[in-house]
Amino acid sequence: MAFACAVIGAGVGGVRSGVSRAEEGGAIDSGIEGHIEIRPVRSVQRAGDANSAPYQATVTVLDGGGNTVTTFTSDEQGNFRVPLAPGTYTVRPESPARYPRASARSVVVASRAFTRVDIVYDSGRR
């Protein structure tokens, strides 16, 4: 399954868009991939009806020292795939205001593997 995302920053201070050069050249065979959704999307929940939707969002990835490693935006279906070297990172979903919002979390990326990261934004709708 192929995912697309816009890589806004790559490395500390680097700025690019599109697929990173590391991913194009196959130099990094590890990272994170997943899906972003927002919920609830309706104030009334009906049995059998999904109350969530894919969400295009910007996410910042930080290293153990709190430095920005990269910032990316998921595609319109909420999917993303970001190459990262093995290590421990904080994945911080960005929010334009109080809502929608999602919590930051720690993620461990193993060598030669893409770690699954699913992010759920709270729409603030009640």
Give me the tens of pLDDT residue by residue for the chain, a chain 126 residues long.
444 444 434 443 333 333 443 445 556 899 999 999 999 998 888 888 889 999 999 999 999 999 999 999 999 999 999 999 999 999 999 998 999 999 999 999 999 999 999 999 999 988
For the chain, what is the domain count? Answer: 1
Tokens at 122, concatenated = 């709270």
Rounded CA separation 31/12 (Å): 17
In a domain, 14, yes or no: no
User: Which range marks the domain in which residue 84 is found?
Assistant: 5-9+19-41+51-122
CB atoms inside a 10 Å sphere around CB 122? 15
In a domain, 101, yes or no: yes
In a domain, 46, yes or no: no
In a domain, 109, yes or no: yes
Predicted local distance difference test score (pLDDT) of residue 20: 41
Predicted local distance difference test score (pLDDT) of residue 28: 84
Rounded CA separation 68/80 (Å): 18
Q: What is the CATH number of the domain that holds 91?
A: 2.60.40.10
In the chain, DSSP assigns E strands to 5-10, 31-39, 53-54, 58-62, 68-74, 79-83, 87-93, 105-109, 114-122
